[in-house]
Amino acid sequence: MNDRKDREGSDTGKTGWVAEAKPRSWWRRAFTILLCSAILGAGIAGASYLNKTAPKARKRKPPRMDPLVRVEMVQQANERAIVRAMGTVVPALEMVLKSRVSGEIISTHPEFIEGGFLKNGTKVLQIDPQDYELAVEQKRSQVVNARYALKLELGHQEVAQREWELLKGDKPAKDMDLELALRKPHLEKARAELVAAEADLKQAELNLARTAIRAPFNAIVRNKHVELGSQVSTQDVLAELVGTDEYWIQVSIPVDRLKWITIPTKMGESGSGVRIIYGTGSVSTFERRGRVIKLLGDLDEEGRMARVLVSVKDPLDQQGKETKGPPLLIGDYVRVEIEGRELKDVFKIPRTALRDNSKIWIERGDGLLHIRQVEVVWRDPQYIFLRDGLKEGERLIVSDLATPVEGMAVIVEQPDGRGPGKGDFGNRKMIKDGKRPDSEG
């Protein structure tokens, strides 16, 4: 019983201690909850305050960037069409040198070498003349004999005339009898023999003179085929000569360009002037002047191009005129610029300013792009010539645009590369510090 009471007393005491501890644990929990709630509320309030007081960006439409373009003022003027092409230097005069007599070559000119220059009339080769000198002496003897025979026959004529007068007097006679009696056939024969002898002498003298072979014109030796001591005949080639007073340039051009070139059709007419450019690079290039002289009658088989001949005087500078470049050489490939007909009242624009092969872009001072259809009069590698589609003083857009549209706004670049210049329109800001303006939308 006592043990039970002790246990009950112990439980009671234990229970009383527990009853006293409960209020303390609840207060602590409540305090923790209140503290967390206060901190949480303070955080929410702070975040709300920061959110309300933070700066806000104003929404607006993105600015429109009008393209900056370069322009050129167009002017109407007279221009000359230039036909540019390539050509090959060919001889204007060339020949194969042969001898008209046979024999041994006993002397040659010092310039009788490949590349040597020979003036007109220079003795190039000398063939042994002894045989021909002897032939001349023989022919002279024949001439003397023929003259003697003629004079003797003239004496016989006088004798025959007197004899006929004594025998026949005024009696009629047949023509044949009269001619034979007066020795007229004998006289004709003597005269014919004298003429033949003189002709033989002249032929012998010609053959003697032909032993000295001379240059028929101012020439350069292209190839030689004989040497000192060679035995030559009338069929042998002695050398190949090319005239140095003039060279030709054979130029191939498109057929549709012929109408722009002046080509002589009669002797004495003057063709288009030609600028000839040759050399081995952009730095070492040289120029000469020439003139169109002839249109060949057929087309080039490879390119179906028309061919014209351009004359170049004194291509090797043999006349002593000062030149700044080397001589032209046979077979050289050169550039030519043929001066064509004059184009009156045309607009000259850069080739890059022509769009889609037939359109141009114009800015008329209103800040807008205008697209025009034009007709090309002449083209060359750098420029285009127009007669219609432009007005003098208009501004041609020469810079490129990605997506050009009729009437789109553009900004004209000033000559110094800055923003819009005087005369531009629209709600644009002037450029500051070299920056492009933005259009406010």
Out of 171-180, 278-287, 414-423, least confident range: 414-423
pLDDT tens per residue across span 292-311: 999 998 888 887 899 999 99
The yes-or-no verdict on residue 56 having pLDDT over 90 is no
Where b means 16+ CB within 10 Å and e means fewer, 252-283 reads bbeeebeebbbeeeeeeeebbbbebebeeeee
State residue 366's pLDDT score: 83
The yes-or-no verdict on residue 423 having pLDDT over 50 is no
CA dihedral 86, 88, 92, 95 (to 10 degrees): -170
Out of 46-50, 184-188, 435-439, least confident range: 435-439
Residue with more model confidence, 440 or 250: 250
| pLDDT, mean of residues 162-169 | 65
The yes-or-no verdict on residue 30 having pLDDT over 70 is yes
Q: Which CATH superfamily is domain 83-91+245-343 in?
A: Efflux pump adaptor protein, beta barrel domain (2.40.30.170)
State residue 441's pLDDT score: 31
Residue with more model confidence, 320 or 89: 89
| pLDDT, mean of residues 381-386 | 88
The yes-or-no verdict on residue 208 having pLDDT over 60 is yes
Residue with tokens 């000559």: 415
User: Cα(68)–Cα(401) distance, rounded to whole angstroms?
Assistant: 9
User: What's the burial of 23, exposed, middle or buried (CB within 10 Å: 0-12/13-18/19+)?
Assistant: exposed
Q: How many angstroms separate the first and last alpha carbons of the chain?
A: 104
pLDDT tens per residue across span 322-378: 566 788 899 999 999 999 888 888 888 898 888 888 888 888 888 888 898 888 888
pLDDT band at 52 (very low <50, low <70, confident <90, very high): confident
State residue 64's pLDDT score: 66
The yes-or-no verdict on residue 436 having pLDDT over 90 is no
Residue with more model confidence, 178 or 396: 396
Residue with more model confidence, 79 or 176: 79
Topology of the domain comprising 60-74+354-441: 2.40.420
Is 83-91+245-343 the same fold as 60-74+354-441? no
Residue with more model confidence, 208 or 285: 208
Q: In the predicted model, what is the mean pLDDT of the chain?
A: 81
How far, in Å, are 116, 225, 240, 414 from residue 244 at the CA level?
A: 11, 20, 13, 57
Domain boundaries, the chain: 1-56, 60-74+354-441, 83-91+245-343, 100-124+214-238, 129-210
pLDDT tens per residue across span 105-152: 999 999 999 999 999 999 999 999 999 999 999 999 999 999 888 888
Percent of the chain with pLDDT over 70: 80
State residue 35's pLDDT score: 79
